[in-house]
Every structure is written in C-alpha cells, then in structure tokens.
Structure 1
Amino acid sequence: MTSASTLQFKSVTYTGLGQGPRVIIMGATHGNEVCGTQAIGRVMAELDAGRLHIGAGSVTFVPIVNPLAYAKNTRSGDRNLNRDLFPKADPQDFEDRVANWLCPLLAQHDVLLDLHSFNAAHGEPFVMVGPADNDGPLEPFRHMREERALARRLGVRRFVTGWMAAYGGGVQRRSRAVSSSEAELETVLRYGVGTTEYMRSTGGYALTLECGQHLDPGAPEVAYRAIMNTLAFLGLIDAPGPQPVPFEEMEALQMVVVHDKLDAGDRFTRAWASFDPVAEGEQIGVRADGTPVLAEFAGRILFPDTNAGPNQEWYYMTRPNPSFGQE
C-alpha cells in the first residue's frame, strides 16, 4: 500500500531567452486521469532531446499533481483536490498538503492548462472556460478575451462556461434551506474552487481541458495537441499559430442549474451521460418518494453522478450560450 510519507512533488520548468508569458501545464490533478501525464511526458522528452525549444517565456510542467491518487489509480487520495483548493495553515489530509505546494506555484504563473479526462463511456472532448469579465463577489475576472482566445485554439469544438455561478446557486439554495450564516455560506462557496478558479484568483487565467474518456487511447493525443497549440499560440515555441475553431463549428454551453440528490433512494430513469440532450419536461429521475424529476427546460445534462450521496450534486443542466466568443 502506498504511504503518503514516501511521496514527493515534481515540477519541471523550461525558460527561453526571450520575453513571454509564464505558463503552467498539469496532469493527474485526479489520479486516474493520466492522459495529461502521458502527453506532458511526450513533450518533455522532445524538449530534452532538442527536437523542441522554448524560445520565449517559460513553461512549467507538473506531470502528476496528486501523487497519492495517481499511485492508487483513483480520482482522489483522501478527497477531491479540485474542491476547496487553498493553502491551509493546518493541513488535515493529503490534498491539503498538495494545495500548500501547488497554490504558491500557480501564483507564480500567468496561464494554466489543466488536462483531465472523464468517466462517461462516450463523449467528445470539451473545455471548461471561466466567466466574462466582472467585478462581482463570486469570481471577479479580467482576462476573458485572452482565456477564450486560447480555448478556441486547443483543438476542441465544445465549450462550457458557468461552473461557479451554477455551483454557487446550489450552495445558496442549500444554505437557505438550513439557514446558514453568511460566514458559513462563504466557507461552502470556497469548496467550489479548484485549480482554474484558484489560478484566476491570483490574477491569471486558466482552462480545464477534458480530453476524452479515461481509457480512450486518443485522449493523450488530444492532450498533446492542446499543449503544442498552447505553446505555439502564446509564442513560447517557434511554430505557426493554430487557427481558432470557426464560430459555426463551435458548441458553447452555459451551466445553468445544479440539482442535488436529496435521498439515497433518488435514482435516474436511465444511464445518462454528459451532454445527452434533454427535452423540456422529459423525466430525468425519480425521488425516493416517487416524485418524478423533470427537466425544467430543453438543454444538455452535464456531470450526472449516480454515486452522489444525499445533499450532494446529482446533475447539472446546461443550455446553449450563443454569446460565447462574441463578447
């Protein structure tokens, strides 16, 4: 059995002679999502062999963000690293210790590309993108144009926005139900912060790329292409800049609402997968007391979780986001 005390963290930085952005590219934030680790290894081998050269700026690679989860080949070590990602003065679990190392490293960079994969049996790659520029309390941001320009050059056509807004709406609904204080609400909202949200909070911008199903042999190629496109687009390597995916080929979706599992007996009426289309009024599930769960609008389901516990996120609903890329 792997002992956390025997593990260590690894990052490798390549710095060019010219001026440019400081980029960080990561794999295995979740330990069983290894396509990013494989692609990073491939790019580092090319750099070390001299087949690829960083001419400007710098790129830091973190092949394995969560070594405990990676060693166990599981999503998490002690808990999901991509929630409540902040430095902790009194770390309680292994992921807290990852955060104490990772968060200062993220803060030293300008741009993050976090490479993931998904559990669903089918589905095409997609990228999670941050909010529009705003000064609001939930996720203030000022790099929308740069972030979305990079997103359109990763090599995928599907874009999803609205994570923190939808997650925050669910938190506020739960908090009203239990009459939580404002301090408690803020604490719970922090739970929605993962790698990209933390990166944005430090003044940078960030993308999460879901490269395909965990075991899809094509997922590492999606990750490799995204790395190379990022390095070329941001001017770190001497290569033609990748063309953006055309607007007419894009599918942009906005996360609108999260629905919680209220009881262990709540169940889906079919084996839903992310991005399955759902018609308005279509039955998605049934509550433990027999009440049907119906779609309140037509859209696509996202992150359906049959293993969710009571009062945890069960599924999200998305609808088209026609303004994406037009702001």
Structure 2
Amino acid sequence: MTSTPLLPFESVSFAGRASGPRLIVTGAVHGNETCGTQGIRRVLEEIRSGALAIERGVVTFVPVCNPLAYAKKDRIGDRNLNRNLAPTPNPKDFEDHVANWLCPLLASHEALLDLHSTRGKTEGFALVGPQDNQGLIEPFKHSKAERDMAKHLGVKRFVEGWLDTYARGVARRRANAAANPLAADAIYGVGTTEYMRSVGGYAMTLECGQHDAPESPEVAYQAIRNTLAFLGHVNGPPPAEVKTYEALRLHEVIDRDHAEDKFSRAWASFDALAPGDLIAIRNDGTEIRAPKHGRILFPDVGAKPGHEWFYLAETIGEI
C-alpha cells in the first residue's frame, strides 16, 4: 500500500444564474489516461477567460480523480479505482480515500461524463448503461436521458451490457480458486458510472481513443463542449445527434486463469470475430474460440490470473 496518502483532491464548480441540470465531468480515474484531464483543463481555461460562460445549472470538473495514479503515470495507485467503488468507514488504500471523497461528489450531481482512454488504438466510443429496469443488478430509470446524451457526444460507436456481463463472470470466478477474491464479488464491477446510477443519476464512460494518440484530448474536449451545449449549460445551438452508428452489447467476459494463457494473435478492441475464430489458448492447451459473429473488446495482454482478460460483444440494432 502507498505511504503517500496526503495528495490533495481537486474539483472545480461553476454555477449559472439560471436553473439547470447538475453535471460532473471526470478525468484520470486511471492515472495513465490523461486525455480527459487535458480536455477538462482546456475547458476550464475557456471558462475562466470568459470565452465560455456557464449560463444554467451547475457544472463540476475533476481533472484528476486519482492523484496517486496520476503522479505515478500508471493505471492504479494501490488498486483499480474503477472497480469496487463505494464509500468505506475504514479506508485501507489510497483508492478508498478517493472513493470517500468522490462518491458523495458524484451523488450530488444528476449526470456524469467520465473520460477515459484505451491501451490499443481505436476510435472514441461510449459505454452506456442498461435499459430502464427494476432488476437486482443495476435498476435504472434514466435510459432515455443517458442515451440521448450519448448520441450528442460526437462519437459513432456505443457499447452496453457491462455490469450484467460482469456479474456472470463473478458467478464463474466464485468457483475458481485462482480468482482474485475481490473480482469474485459483484460490487467489484462497480465503477464511477455504475455508482452514479446507483444513487439516482445517469452516466457514461467515454473512451476517447488510445492513451497517447494526439487526437484523444480533442475527442475529450469536443465531448465536454457538446455535453455542455446539449444539456443547456451554455448558450448556442445544441450539437448534432449522430444518426449512423454501431451499437454493440457485451455478452461474455473471459478471465485469464494462468500466467501462460496466451492470445492467438495481437488483438485490438473491436476486431471482428466469426464463429470458430481462435482467440486464445489456455496453459493446458484448451482453445478459446468465438461462439458467434461479433467483436472482441478490452483484450488485456497484461491481465493477471483471476482477472478479466477480454470481452465478447455482439451487434445490436440501436441503443
């Protein structure tokens, strides 16, 4: 665990003179994903200079959610902040302290735009929540508002089905002695957006592109500006709604069981899969093949045994 828990947390809020929604925009939940931080700081400069005016509602910006991970230029400080996110009366690691500060801040807002990036090269895409439901895994009642917001971000690919797919993985992990004990708990799938939905808001994760791609900060910046205009925080015409897009639904998560489990090739998110395509080979020689047409998402060559290794997604008609 870290011995430097005194790093400060920073949020910056602006309130318009007219009533409106309460939006929070977050960056650097993972410390090596800095495009959101750059996009947020660019918008902050515009607001402070008077080039952009918040006319309605409240907007809060968190340029760096995890200052320890950010200082390390690494994905994590002590652990993954975007898993098992919840307040705790007995914080044990740095991310617990972040959660005790960040969770009440999220709960005081109505909408969240959480800005991330990916290891592999890909276009920007948004992860949206479930359809409205009263189920046990992720009950929700703001699906239309969330998906309307997603269609105005400026990206053309959307993915749903995170938490219920993760929950199915949890059931399998519980029977696997090699699994990470935390990862065998359904709450371990809860990150910023899932927590926001659990306290009555709506939210989305925007993956802005590859970590170091020069266009990723621009994707983050445009998404912030588009969201401010769409929700009415700033004056001016709303951004155009994307009409042609790819919609996908996660349907399976595959964990890495052994350090010698290997991918069959260097996969990248959204690579196409056909039925029977060889994806990976286990240490014991077991082959993992695609069950149907779809795409692979979030392949992680550095995944540790007992952690998620990659996801499978299928095309759906619309979000």
- Decide: shared fold, TM above 0.5: yes
Q: CA deviation at 1:155?
A: 0.2
Separation in 2, partners of 1:26, 1:53: 19
SS in 1 for 2:241: coil
2:212 aligns with 215
1:322 aligns with 317
* Equivalent of residue 194 in structure 1, options 180, 191, 195: 191
SS in 2 for 1:9: coil
Question: For residues 1-327 of structure 1, what are the structure 2 equivalents within 5 Å?
Answer: 4-120=4-120, 122-176=121-175, 188-246=185-243, 249-324=244-319
Whichever residue aligns with residue 216 of structure 1, its letter is A
Moved more, 13-22 or 260-269: 260-269
- Give the total of aligned pairs: 316
Question: 1:66 touches 1:95 (CA, 8 Å); kept in 2?
Answer: yes
Question: 1:84 touches 1:194 (CA, 8 Å); kept in 2?
Answer: yes
Q: CA deviation at 1:176?
A: 4.8
Separation in 2, partners of 1:91, 1:39: 31
Separation in 1, partners of 2:6, 2:197: 32
- Over 3 Å counting, the alpha-carbon distance change for 1:75 and 1:186 in structure 2 is closer
Question: 2:170 touches 2:186 (CA, 8 Å); kept in 1?
Answer: yes
**1:255-284 CA deviation, whole Å, 9 max, x = no partner?**
000111122221101010111001100101
SS in 2 for 1:4: coil
Q: CA RMSD in A?
A: 1.7
SS in 2 for 1:296: coil
Moved over 6 A (4+): 184-187
Question: 1:172 touches 1:185 (CA, 8 Å); kept in 2?
Answer: no
Question: 1:131 touches 1:162 (CA, 8 Å); kept in 2?
Answer: yes
Moved more, 57-66 or 5-14: 5-14
Whichever residue aligns with residue 238 of structure 2, its letter is G
Whichever residue aligns with residue 157 of structure 1, its letter is K
Separation in 2, partners of 1:321, 1:176: 31
Separation in 2, partners of 1:116, 1:267: 26
Q: CA deviation at 1:3?
A: 5.8
Question: 2:193 touches 2:202 (CA, 8 Å); kept in 1?
Answer: yes
**1:140-178 CA deviation, whole Å, 9 max, x = no partner?**
000000000000000000000000011001111222557
Separation in 1, partners of 2:105, 2:6: 21
Q: State the TM-score, normalizing by the size of structure 1.
A: 0.94
Separation in 2, partners of 1:285, 1:172: 22
SS in 2 for 1:319: strand
Q: State the TM-score, normalizing by the size of structure 2.
A: 0.96
Whichever residue aligns with residue 123 of structure 1, its letter is T
Whichever residue aligns with residue 278 of structure 1, its letter is L
Question: 1:79 touches 1:95 (CA, 8 Å); kept in 2?
Answer: yes
Question: 2:183 touches 2:307 (CA, 8 Å); kept in 1?
Answer: no
1:181 aligns with none
Structure 2 unaligned spans of 5+: none
**1:20-48 CA deviation, whole Å, 9 max, x = no partner?**
00000011111011111111111111111
Whichever residue aligns with residue 45 of structure 1, its letter is E
- Over 3 Å counting, the alpha-carbon distance change for 1:118 and 1:127 in structure 2 is same
Separation in 1, partners of 2:38, 2:141: 32
Separation in 2, partners of 1:164, 1:88: 21
Q: CA deviation at 1:312?
A: 1.7
Separation in 1, partners of 2:138, 2:258: 31
Structure 1 unaligned spans of 5+: 179-183
SS in 2 for 1:171: helix
Separation in 2, partners of 1:291, 1:193: 31
SS in 2 for 1:154: coil
Q: CA deviation at 1:304?
A: 0.8
SS in 1 for 2:89: coil
Question: 2:247 touches 2:317 (CA, 8 Å); kept in 1?
Answer: yes
SS in 2 for 1:191: helix
Separation in 1, partners of 2:307, 2:9: 31
Question: 1:171 touches 1:185 (CA, 8 Å); kept in 2?
Answer: no
**1:98-138 CA deviation, whole Å, 9 max, x = no partner?**
00000000000000000011111x21110000000000000
SS in 1 for 2:21: strand
